[in-house]
Amino acid sequence: MPARTTDSTPERPDDDRAPSNAPEPCAGEDAHTPSPPGEHAGDDAHTSPPPGEHAGDDGTGAGSGQRVVAVRRAADGGRRWRALHLAGCAVLLALAVTGGAIAVGGGQDRGAGADAVSAAGALSPGDLARGDLDAGIASLQKHLRAQPRDFGSWATLGVAYVEQARTKGDPSRYPQAQRALKRSLQLEPGNDQALAGQAALAAARHDFPGALTHADRALKQNPYNERALCTRIDALVELGRYDDAAKAADTADDRRPGIPVFTRYAYVRELRGDVRTARGVLERALGSAHAPADVAYVATALGQLAWSQGEYRTALDHYARALAADDGYLPALEGRARAQAASGERTAAVRGLEQVVARFPLPGPLVALGELYEDRGAGGDRAKAGDQYALVDAWTALARAGGANTDLETALAAADHGDEKEALRAARAEWDRRHSVHTADALAWALHVNGRDEEALPYARRATATGYRNAVFLYHRGVIERATGDERGARAHLKAALDLNPGFSPLGAREARTALKDLKGNR
């Protein structure tokens, strides 16, 4: 599975306040998630209708389904998409503007002197996370029609839209989130819930400097805001500031130990190559998880970690537990398919990924499915693969229209399955923004496919310098070293990639084995 990035972890629509003698429930949990017994992670009024009230954009899946159809139509025909790319982008932009439009702002409530209030029985943030997201959003919208000055509910709605964009692959929700969070801040300037929501939105859009700024502002208002603490870790990780991220994880663990912090703490350790500690922290987190959403999330993180280390049977067991908690959890469905592919269960893997992309055509599973088609090589498979790669272009256009930065996704997909020059442009642009191991690897590989291996090698070395055990990074470095004439280094890193995770990619693993065989023959 592609290396995990922290910005994809679920956000919790909760009202994070400093702990009291009776801690309030965290979203997604029946109560504040405790640290495992005796441990912290580090111990081994008139207003416009609320967003989504327009026809075809009700937040219940109909609008998202229409967008999936539109994206597929835009990409239909594989190669034909490239000829119609500009026209398709215009269609997708119009789709994002109309399908994702909201009416907040036109009829601002400018009444003065009234405190924001919550109606008795209004949907709580915890209820939103535990229940159906679409139904929760609809309930929030109904509540806000009755109580348009409830700044806390506007903040919760904004974060719910961010989560909906993430889980449904629908970037048109980002402008909705932005408007809802802005409304919250208009009603209650400087409230930490909305500031933390802005941090989550910026991270989801891959604006990590902005995410860090908003998180710091939220923590200045409330040092115990869980979402802000977590997003601050996310932003530092994605900016490649790993020492600062480790300190932020320790701080968050001291202030708000619980599942959201544990999972991020584990990832920071994984990035340093400390897989044992990462696994231990995740296992303790899973032991403390009770809500189905938490069980699914943590079990999937354990599955991803096991897969990345070549432990496919263990990964499948974790994915089974995740899907027992939530049988529609997309990351677990995708992870299970990848583990099946690596285990040789190609038919099941293809079927699983086809089901995933039929619901949510996101870049990761689209590329994985395309590569499985290419590897299978049956009649019509090459055309099917081309269709998947074209869908990545369509999704990218929609994401950009929603205000998201997609350069990393563009670089990774285009380097192997698209325009090499565009891959290099996107990778350079992303490197200018942040210096993480993922951007270093993407830039190294984009330089390689453009025949600039001497330039690529320092970035490939940087991608593997933290000790992060990632077979793709090792494979890329080995290929680049071979191209620069360093056969010894190439043999070492290609072998390391295959020893670590021999099924890291249907095509990449095959090419690594071929290259290693050729290198051994030349000795």
Whole-angstrom distance, CA of residue 520 vs CA of residue 510: 16
**Which residue type occupies 131?**
G
Q: Is 419 exposed, middle or buried (0-12, 13-18, 19+ CB in 10 A)?
A: middle
User: If we measure between CA atoms, which residue out of 233, 282, 285 comes closest to residue 28?
Assistant: 285
Q: Where is average pLDDT lowest: 11-25, 467-481, 507-521?
A: 11-25
Q: 341 and 372 in contact (C-beta within 8 Å)?
A: yes
Q: What is the pLDDT of residues 189-231, one digit of tens each?
A: 999 999 999 999 999 999 999 999 999 999 999 999 999 999 9
> Where does CATH 1.25.40.10 sit in the chain?
289-404, 410-522
Mean pLDDT of 304-316: 97
The pLDDT value given to residue 133: 80
φ/ψ bin of 190: left (φ > 0), alpha (ψ from -120 to 50), beta (otherwise): left
CB 520 within 8 A of CB 498: no
List, for residues 113-163, the tens digit of each pLDDT value.
222 222 222 334 444 444 578 888 999 999 999 999 999 999 999 999 998
| pLDDT, tens only, 5-30 | 444 444 443 444 443 333 333 333 33
Per-residue pLDDT tens for 393-444? Answer: 888 888 888 788 889 989 999 999 999 999 999 999 999 999 999 999 999 9
d(Cα 440, Cα 238) in Å, to the nearest integer?
Answer: 11
The CATH topology of domain 410-522 is 1.25.40
Domain 289-404 has CATH 1.25.40.10: yes
Lowest mean pLDDT among 78-82, 329-333, 378-382, 468-472: 78-82
Give the pLDDT score at 435: 95
pTM of the model: 0.77
Q: In whole angstroms, how far apart are CA 459 and each of 61, 167, 208, 255, 419?
A: 42, 32, 21, 36, 21
**Residue 170 identity:** D
pLDDT, tens digit, for every residue of 330-378? 899 999 999 999 999 999 999 999 999 998 888 999 999 999 999 999 9
